[in-house]
Structure 1
């Protein structure tokens, strides 16, 4: 079976006036609507995360021009602005929620902007949006102890299961950071697949726990978006991001090794 390259789009906030903490990784409602119109006009077929992974796992064919639309964290604008556009086009999507940031009984007070509440999450799920896990408090999972890692994965998954009636099958790593230890814990916790970042197209050979995504930002123009979803000039577009990611990965590994040696983990 051909190793089809699939663009997995990573969104965060959809907001006209985001705060400073979320501005760079937000898109305006108008930009999001234009981007979804581009997907429809180019004949893309959006899939859910669990659907894509299940097809690849079973060796089943993908539809023509597959694409995934994903949102991280759980910002209120996903319900207010993105859902009507998705419904207009009949597009499925995946929302990865940080359970300790959502408004309601589990709110830890650490959210960077206005978040969804659980009624809105249920409405999104009822409208065909897959709800995935994104930890409980959004730490860098490759830097925390085994105990904290397990808590973040298990507590977040249990909360989603309690609130929606079904535990999430898909996970997205906070900040995109993972390691072999983190990926193993995600699998053992019960998630069937997980998304990283990587700013590249996703391929079956990446494995179900390291599927790559491309970042859609406030500065992503419509021509750049068209090139991105068609897999053109991705390496050039994200060259700076990739260099920073590789460099920071070395720093994070050294930091964790230092904490282990000092007995802090």
Structure 2
């Protein structure tokens, strides 16, 4: 069985927060992650490139790097990746581009030119699995078209906001022309996984080298990932009811 560890990052601040945030991996920690993995012989690629590499050679030691939300501190990660020859996929919610704390179009263009894969994270970062078909298509198609028009890139990868997806949303992603998509999942991706629902792993701030190595070889530890996956159907029904009955989207 072919396996592919896909790492999920969000913010990469220059300095650690006073109160640790699981979604904020400081630049020094990220540097340790990249240096450790490359020293161990892993090749760090964006998701679409990683999938192609594994399809051509299942034994190739590849880890995919992905970043959600296109925060402006991604530039800290970009400096580290350039130093080590690593590549990644950056998922952009187009409605946030240029807002405070987010990358602008010029920065995204420069990153794309440097080899960063630009993927879509929808337009308004809404949960895809509770949207009506028209709204779902709008989020998928318009975000992809805007990224292509503004950056001149082929947008092949999608990331579900909040990690939420279902059969309808996955089919909509495929119909919109994407080649792959990722969720959260909290386990290592395998060759039999749905190409439009690829699971990822979350590196944490303060993680040791040993913990990082275990993450990419064995997946996330403990029962929490299993429990979260088991509760997803019930939580989806709750969120769907809130959206339809109260016009309020829970995340």
Q: Deviation at 1:221?
A: 3.5
Change (3 A) 1:99 1:63: farther
Alpha-carbon distance, 1:187 to partner: 0.4
Equivalent position to 2:172, from 155, 160, 185: 185
> Bigger CA drift: 43-52 or 17-26?
17-26
- Matched residue count: 248
Matching of residues 45-124 of structure 1 within 5 Å = 45-55=43-53, 59-62=55-58, 64-79=60-75, 81-103=76-98, 114-124=101-111
Query: Normalising by the residue count of structure 2, what TM-score does the alignment of the two structures yield?
Result: 0.89
Whether the 8 Å contact between 2:183 and 2:197 is mirrored in structure 1 is yes
Shift, 1:173, TM fit? 0.8
**Alpha-carbon displacement from aligned partner over 1:166-193 (angstroms, at most 9, x marks no partner):** 2410111111110000000000011011
User: Deviation of residue 230 (structure 1)?
Assistant: 2.2
Matching of residue 256 in structure 1 with residue 240 in structure 2: yes
Mapping of residues 1-265 of structure 1, within 5 Å: 3-16=1-14, 23-55=21-53, 59-62=55-58, 64-79=60-75, 81-103=76-98, 114-231=101-218, 234-237=219-222, 239-256=223-240
Tell me by how many angstroms 1:24 deviates.
2.6
Change (3 A) 1:9 1:255: closer
How big is the shift at 1:259?
Answer: 5.9
Give the direction of change, closer, same or farther, for the CA distance of 1:130–1:235 in structure 2 (3 Å limit). closer
- SS of the equivalent of 1:100 reads helix
Q: Following TM superposition, by how much is the alpha carbon of 1:235 offset from its aligned partner in structure 2, in angstroms?
A: 4.9
TM-score normalised over the length of structure 1? 0.85
Q: C-alpha separation between the residues in 1 aligned to 2:67 and 2:186?
A: 15
Structure 2: distance between partners of 1:154 and 1:142: 16
- Looking at structure 2, the residues matched to 30 and 162 of structure 1 have their Cα atoms a distance apart, in angstroms, of 35
Question: What whole-Å deviation, never above 9, does each CA across 1:88-138 have from its counterpart, x for those lacking one?
Answer: 1111111011111110xxx5xxxxx61111111111111111000110110
- CA distance 1:21–1:127, change in 2 (3 Å): farther
Any gaps of 5 or more consecutive residues in structure 2? none
Structure 1: gaps spanning 5 or more residues: 108-112
Query: For 2:27 and 2:243, how far apart are their aligned partners in 1?
Result: 43
CA RMSD, 1 decimal? 2.5
Question: What's the offset of the Cα at 1:51?
Answer: 2.1
How far, CA to CA, are the matches of 2:178 and 2:16 in structure 1?
31
